[in-house]
């Protein structure tokens, strides 16, 4: 009987070992090279402290995060200006507003019918369940993120943007710029890496610091928009070229040494 138990135990251990070989490399080690603090220091050295996200109130930042999906910030600013000009930039007003009026206000942000409906419905849920936006933001970080993700029209990036910038929760925001930049820095990181995996890489290597998380995301946006472009990146003038695999190959920078 004892021998049979031992064989069964060895069989289970062997099976577990085989399964472990299929775990993505990310989960064997989440140590990043180059270290994220080094990436951040280089970016901030170039761009300075960016103090993003703009907004007069937590609610305005929340609205901006919902409207910024699939559009530029300039278009969102126009929509926000319309809402503020009408004196409707508050939870009660938007939750009670006629959809046609809200559609007209958010039209500059694109997909205006869909966005108006979703913004109206989300505000109605928050008003009904929490009484105010601050009531929602009293939830803990994990609970807030889960509740936001349960609302139609809010995905991971939007949920984390709301949690970070509006609610003041230290959660790292990942976007298309983050994926592009990290893939170019280290080709082993796929540009199609999942949101959760890339978020884990940063949060496992950084202290949960609200100011740092906000500014790091802003630095990536600034670099991605103006230098690390989707096509024809301006590697010669990039502050990360000495730690970037793509930058080294495009510029012949002999200082690059694997991004330590």
Task: Give the total number of structural domains in the chain.
Answer: 2
CATH at 233: 1.10.1670.10
pLDDT digits 0-9 by tens, 217-232: 999 999 999 999 999 9
Q: If you average pLDDT over every residue of the chain, what do you get? A: 88
143 in the same domain as 62:
yes
Q: What is the structure's pLDDT at 73?
A: 93
Q: What is the structure's pLDDT at 96?
A: 96
Q: What is the structure's pLDDT at 3?
A: 41
Assess whether pLDDT exceeds 60 at residue 29: no
Does residue 258 form part of some domain? Answer: no
pLDDT bucket at 252, cuts 50 / 70 / 90: confident
238 in the same domain as 154:
no
Q: Which residue has the higher pLDDT, 24 or 257?
A: 257
153 in the same domain as 186:
no
162 in the same domain as 72:
yes
> Which of 4-8, 32-36, 181-185 comes out lowest in average pLDDT?
4-8
Last residue of a domain, one of 151, 166, 181: 166
Does residue 179 form part of some domain? Answer: yes
The closest alpha carbon to 160, from 142, 145, 177, 179, belongs to 145
Q: Which residue has the higher pLDDT, 202 or 32?
A: 202
The sign one gets for the Cα dihedral 187, 191, 193, 195 is positive
Last residue of a domain, one of 135, 166, 197: 166
pLDDT digits 0-9 by tens, 150-186: 999 999 999 999 999 999 999 999 999 999 999 999 9
Q: What angle do CA 64, 110, 87 make, to 5 degrees?
A: 50
Does residue 5 form part of some domain? Answer: no
Q: What value does the mean pLDDT take over residues 84-89?
A: 98
Does residue 97 form part of some domain? Answer: yes
Q: Which residue has the higher pLDDT, 163 or 30?
A: 163
pLDDT digits 0-9 by tens, 108-120: 999 999 999 999 9
d(CA 92, CA 120): 10
Share of the chain above pLDDT 90, in %: 80
Assess whether pLDDT exceeds 80 at residue 259: no
pLDDT bucket at 31, cuts 50 / 70 / 90: low
67 in the same domain as 146:
yes
Last residue of a domain, one of 147, 166, 185: 166
Q: What value does the mean pLDDT take over residues 83-98?
A: 97
Q: Which helix (H) or strand (E) holds 110?
A: none
230 in the same domain as 152:
no
Assess whether pLDDT exceeds 50 at residue 23: no
Alpha helices, H only, 69-175: 73-85, 91-96, 99-106, 112-130, 133-137, 141-149, 156-161
| Structural domain that includes position 199 | 36-50+173-250
Does residue 207 form part of some domain? Answer: yes
pLDDT bucket at 255, cuts 50 / 70 / 90: low
181 in the same domain as 119:
no
The closest alpha carbon to 139, from 259, 5, 149, belongs to 149
Does residue 14 form part of some domain? Answer: no
d(CA 215, CA 225): 15
158 in the same domain as 76:
yes
Rounded to 10 deg, the angle between the 112-130 and 99-106 helix axes is: 120
Assess whether pLDDT exceeds 80 at residue 194: yes
Assess whether pLDDT exceeds 80 at residue 138: yes
Assess whether pLDDT exceeds 50 at residue 10: no
Q: What is the structure's pLDDT at 55?
A: 93
pLDDT bucket at 13, cuts 50 / 70 / 90: very low
């Amino acid at each position: 009987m004892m021998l049979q138990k031992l064989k069964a135990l060895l069989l289970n251990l062997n099976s577990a070992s085989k399964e472990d070989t299929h775990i993505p490399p990310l989960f064997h080690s989440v140590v990043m090279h180059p270290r994220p603090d080094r990436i951040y220091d280089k970016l901030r050295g170039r761009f300075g402290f960016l103090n993003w996200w703009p907004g007069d109130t937590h609610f305005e930042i929340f609205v901006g995060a919902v409207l910024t999906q699939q559009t530029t910030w300039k278009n969102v600013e126009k929509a926000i200006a319309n809402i503020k000009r009408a004196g409707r930039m508050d939870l009660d007003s938007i939750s009670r507003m006629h959809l046609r009026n809200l559609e007209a206000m958010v039209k500059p942000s694109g997909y205006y019918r869909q966005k108006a409906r979703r913004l109206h419905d989300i505000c109605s849920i928050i008003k009904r369940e929490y009484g105010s936006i601050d009531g929602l933001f009293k939830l803990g970080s994990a609970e807030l993120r889960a509740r936001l993700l349960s609302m139609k029209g809010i995905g991971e990036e939007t949920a984390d943007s709301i949690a970070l910038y509006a609610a003041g929760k230290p959660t790292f925001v990942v976007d298309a710029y983050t994926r592009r930049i990290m893939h170019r820095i280290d080709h082993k990181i796929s540009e199609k890496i999942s949101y959760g995996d890339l978020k884990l890489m940063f949060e496992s290597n950084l202290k949960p610091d609200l100011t740092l998380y906000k500014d790091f995301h802003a630095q990536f946006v600034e670099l991605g928009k103006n230098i690390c472009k989707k096509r024809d990146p301006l590697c010669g003038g990039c502050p990360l070229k000495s730690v970037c695999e793509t930058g080294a190959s495009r510029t012949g920078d002999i200082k690059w040494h694997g991004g330590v």
